Amino acid sequence: MLSIGSFTTLQLDINTDNVATLELSRGAKSNAVNTEMWDELPQALDLLDARDDLRVVILRGQGRNFCAGIDFAALTGLAAAVNLPCPGRSREALRRSIMNWQDSLTSLERCRWPVIAAVQGACYGAGVDMITAADIRYCTADATFCVKEVDLAIVADMGTLQRLPGIVGEGVARELALTARVIGAQEAKAIGLVTAVFPDMQALYAAVDKVAATMAAKSPLAITGTKRIMLQCRDSTVRNGLEYVATWNSAQMLSQDMDRVIESLARKSKQPPRFSKL
């Protein structure tokens, strides 16, 4: 493992298979998202986005819980920071802060490499915001999920209300967001929030590593392009999505990666083609 960057709330490593592990490292606090983590998450993902030798990012949390939500100290600090004499300026500062925190989680989507979330224990509030911005989600049998914000008398504003309906459906997303009901791993799988459930963290990490290795063996042009196109199509009409992918492929389809796949198929080679870094 190669550790890169220097963070107080995150651990960032890269293995020899072109897979990065981004770990929330506030395990003693159930990885509650504090001000430093809001700042460090996009910095870490920008580092990963800039690396041409990567293929996949695994997002996981240290300790018993993936993420227990936002650290209340961060909310207290935010309230103090936007407590200005002018009500208009106070609200403008609050809006700017909210949008900065939103952008912190959007960095998971902005990163060109696919992000796989591996969830154990509690995944509440900001944790759900985080995993809904990931590309794929897996969990342990003891995982629980909760869109917690209405219990705190606030509207979820970090992306869950925008992303969750596309993952689990509009009706289910509304029910979860309006009730703050806690759901377990099997229900999370049944509604499509996670793809698979594993008995413990060891089995979860082994399965996620295997999926990441499978993806890492693919053409990086195809992997990054697929992620970008699916996000674009989610956020646009079918027609616009089709036009976007036509433009994308007209620029990148004719590549050495494709030549290598065609050559491998023509030779009926049992060895998968190897691709250069971006």
Count of CA atoms in the C-beta half-sphere (13 A) of 275: 25
How does strand 136-140 pair with strand 56-61?
Answer: unpaired
What is the model's pLDDT at position 37? Answer: 96
What is the model's pLDDT at position 1? Answer: 65
**Residue range 2-216, CATH number:** 3.90.226.10
Task: Classify burial at 89, counting beta carbons within 10 Å of its beta carbon; exposed 0-12, middle 13-18, buried 19 or more.
Answer: exposed
In the chain, ranges of CATH 1.10.12.10 domains = 220-266
Its CATH class, for the domain covering 220-266, is: mainly alpha
In the chain, ranges of CATH 3.90.226.10 domains = 2-216
What is the model's pLDDT at position 90? Answer: 83
pTM for this model (two decimals): 0.91
Query: Strand (E) positions, the chain?
Result: 2-3, 10-14, 19-24, 56-61, 115-119, 122-124, 136-140, 144-146, 183-184, 196-198
Residues of the chain with pLDDT under 50: none
Assigned token pair, 209: 């590593």
